[in-house]
Amino acid sequence: MDRLADSHLAVHMSQHVVIGDAAPALMTVAVRGPLLVFLLPAPLLVRVARARPVFSFLLRPRVAFALWAANLGVWHVPYLYDLALRHDGVHYLEHACWVVAGLLVWALLVDPGSHRRLTVGGRIALAAGMFAAGQVLTDVLVFSFHQIYPAYPGRTDQQLAGVAMMAEQLLTLGTLAFVLLRPRLRRSARLLAA
Amino acid sequence: MSPTHFSWEPFYLVVAAAMTFAYVRARPSGRWRTASFTAGVFLLAAPLNSPMETIAAKRLLLVHLLQNALIADIAPLLVLLGLTPRMKAWIAAHGGARVRARWAILAWLLAWYGTHLAGFYDWALDTGWALNIEHGLLIAGGFLFWWPLVSARLSPPAALAYLGAGFVAASFLGLAFIFSSHPFYSFYEHAPRLWGLSPIRDQNLGGILMNAEQTLVFLVAIGWYVWRLLEEEHELGASAD
């Protein structure tokens, strides 16, 4: 995938949404509950505990969303996108940013430690906000009449990149919304039946 | 025929006039409601009775798809939002209450995809009069789709699921237009061109317009129901305190 990403924007975009969205989503789901406490070795856990104020700040919903959206916007600026393609160091930093930003928002969406920083409605709102922000980028890619990234010629490739992003977001955020809303849907159905 | 020439589908002028007459007779209340209803009726009749109809029916698919999006997605929603509770109760008592969300979405999708099938679309354009049927199906589908939401029979979670399903299911048509490499409709392949758009470029742009319009409408509607969900939670929290 990494090799193909050098020549196809759609593959590169898929790579980003996998490492920045699908992977953090699956990771946070995987460590839900008591497992979270045993995830890190005790010495590391102590250090993490010391940095708690930093994590608490970063995991404020508005901060996490702002960082996620800024990351999404900044790394798609053509100059930075091309810079990352030309310099491995910048490329690694870009990918690290995707993973960190993804982990921040998905920690809020999945809430593996049951911290309840957001209500169910708040989590749905965050997911909708993420989808809307992603949709802006998708629309720019799909609806653009010229090539945005010089390294990737071909408008169809660019449009496919936008669709790949939308499809992935629909899948991950849509699944989350369905899981969160399902108990309420059942309750509504029961009330209606009664 | 000049693209600025007016074309008419008088049936929809009569429908718009009848709806306005019934609305005024029912004595609507509220400035926003009246504005919404007026805008909805305008968007129902104007795209079908203006130069837009000429370009849509004679020249460009792009304009035809925009016309369809206006009359099927936006106009029915605005008209329904303009109804007073009493009007909605009347509609519910006269069949509206029997409209189930799952059937409404299915009917809307059938109208949306069915009317855009190449055979039907070309037939409607070739005959001219059959455009009335195409537009009628789209308008009816739009009213059916928005009714379960506007009649407030869906809770915010159910409405979000309904809108999400509609958004995903309807988007494939626009994407098919955007990514197609050959024209779907032979009518537009042979129609005189306008603004230097080739048939395939015209079709791609039509898909872009259709998807953009649906994204905007659905995201606004989803945003509204997320807001409602948060308010509901806030009220529950307040009553628990």
Domain ranges of chain A: 6-193
CB pairs under 8 A between A and B: 61
Residue pLDDT, tens place only, A29-65: 988 877 777 777 888 888 878 888 888 899 999 999 9
Asked if the structure places residue B2 within a domain, the reply is: no
Residue pLDDT, tens place only, B201-233: 889 889 988 888 998 999 999 999 989 988 888
Asked if the structure places residue B107 within a domain, the reply is: yes
Residue pLDDT, tens place only, A94-134: 999 999 999 999 999 999 888 888 888 899 999 999 999 99
Q: Which residue of B has its CA nearest to A128?
A: B223
Contact list in A for residue B155 (CB cut-off 8 A) is: 184-185, 188
Specify whether the backbone of A41 is left (phi greater than 0), alpha (psi in -120 to 50) or beta: beta
- In this structure, of A52-56, A73-77, A140-144, B198-202, the range with the lowest mean pLDDT score is A140-144
| Cα–Cα distance, B141 to B133 (Å, whole number) | 12
Asked if the structure places residue B97 within a domain, the reply is: yes
Residues contacting residue B145 through CB under 8 Å, at least 6 positions apart: B76, B104, B105, B107, B108, B166
A51 three-class SS = coil
Q: What is the pLDDT of residue A100?
A: 95
| Angle made by CA atoms B115, B120, B123, in degrees to the nearest 5 | 135
Residues contacting residue A189 through CB under 8 Å, at least 6 positions apart: none
As a residue count, chain B comes to 241
Check CB contact under 8 Å for A174 and B233.
no
Domain count, chain B: 1
Contact list in A for residue B179 (CB cut-off 8 A) is: 156, 159-160, 163
Reading chain B (241 residues) residue by residue, the pLDDT tens digits are 676 777 777 888 999 999 999 998 887 788 899 999 999 999 999 888 888 888 888 888 999 999 999 999 999 999 999 999 999 999 999 988 899 999 999 999 999 999 999 999 999 988 988 999 999 999 999 999 999 999 988 888 889 999 999 999 998 898 888 888 888 998 888 887 778 788 888 898 899 888 889 989 999 999 999 899 888 888 877 666 6
Q: Give the residue from A158, A185, A190 with the most B CB atoms within 10 Å of its CB, the best one to mutate.
A: A185
Q: Which two tokens stand for residue A111?
A: 């809430």
Asked if the structure places residue B5 within a domain, the reply is: no
Contact list in B for residue A178 (CB cut-off 8 A) is: 161
pTM, whole model, 2 decimals? 0.82
Q: Which of B177, B241, B161 is CA-nearest to residue B210?
A: B177
CB B77, CB B142: distance < 8 Å:
yes
Check CB contact under 8 Å for A125 and B230.
yes
Does A170 lie at the interface with B, CB-CB under 8 angstroms?
yes
Contact list in B for residue A132 (CB cut-off 8 A) is: 219, 223
Which domain range does residue B161 map to? 10-240
Model ipTM value = 0.71
Q: What is the pLDDT of residue B198?
A: 86
Specify whether the backbone of A116 is left (phi greater than 0), alpha (psi in -120 to 50) or beta: left
Check CB contact under 8 Å for A181 and B208.
no
Does A154 lie at the interface with B, CB-CB under 8 angstroms?
no
Give how far Cα B221 sits from Cα of B64, B67, B92, B145, B215, Å: 24, 21, 22, 13, 10
Q: Which residue of B has its CA nearest to A143?
A: B208
pLDDT band at A192 (very low <50, low <70, confident <90, very high): low
Check CB contact under 8 Å for A170 and B168.
yes
